[in-house]
Homo-oligomer: A and B are copies of this chain.
Amino acid sequence: MHVAVVGAGAVGCYFGGMLARAGLPVTLIGRPLHVDAIQKNGLRLETQSFDEQIALKASTEPNAVADADVVLFCVKSTDSLTTAKQIAPYLKPNAVLLSLQNGVENADIICSVLIQQVIASVVYVATEMAGPGHLKHFGRGELVIAQSPASESIAAVFECASVPVECVADVRGAQWAKLIINCAYNALSAIAQKPYAALVEVAGVSDLMAEVVDECLRVAAADGVTVPGDIHAATRRIAHTMAGQYSSTAQDVARGKPNEIDYLNGYIVRRGREQGIATPINQTLLTLVKLVEKH
């Protein structure tokens, strides 16, 4: 099974690196900064339990997907449509794409321009690019993916590479659960440039997060989505289980890079407006991220 990873960021490098480490042929496709470093020295995969240089192929060209049976689609939500169009001419007709992205819209966006199967997923991993070709892994690293004819065999391969994968019938509910947690943490961490535990220490922040969650739940309900579990409790837990984590939005804002806020709080605001549901706090957080981001 040949694997291509489209988007050599923190998520793509982690899952691509783990598959390559387990012996699979993996090609990372990304920007020259990381590709050059990986071509020269391999991918440095620094985790809590090991720190290794993983040899794998790397390319800046979309045609590097040509051999792939499985494509891990790991670009930012902002780049989904453009990237899907770029790789479309080179994909095998029976290639399967796995969208390892935030938000709930990406699989549909990719499907809109491809004939190949696209499997939606939810990613749980705390990682950061610490430098060119250097990935730091802080914790977790499991996937929840939509059930499909191809899903079980893909899951089996990931399991061999020490990546736990759960195949679920209702991936949409799982995506929303993650989306809601992202809505509660990402903007605040970005605006304040603080890690998760430092946020909830401040008076009023936990209540604010709870109201963000409530707004999201009202939009989810109007969309017919059942969010699994106690999402309020799950949201509160993240401050402890990922205490030192800065949100991806915080990292993007700090680095002056495009961020995904339009697909997180911005999505809630858009869907809320379409459904006639007020989302004042998500709207305020969205606007404030726009206010602090650099251009």
Contact = CB atoms under 8 A, between A and B. Distances in A.
Interface of A: 188, 191-192, 194, 199, 202-205, 207-208, 211, 280-281, 283-288, 290-292
B203 A288 contact: no
A194 B295 CA distance: 14
Contact of A203 (B192, B208, B290): B290
B284 A285 contact: yes
B204 A283 contact: yes
Interface of A is mostly: helix
Contacts of A284: 208, 280-281, 284-285
Contacts of A203: 287, 290
Contact of A291 (B202, B207, B280, B291): B202
Contact of A202 (B199, B202, B285, B287): B287
Contact of A188 (B205, B285, B291): B291
Complex A-B, nearest 4 residue pairs according to Cβ-Cβ distance, in ascending order:
A204-B287, A192-B291, A280-B280, A284-B284
B191 A283 contact: no
Contacts of A199: 291
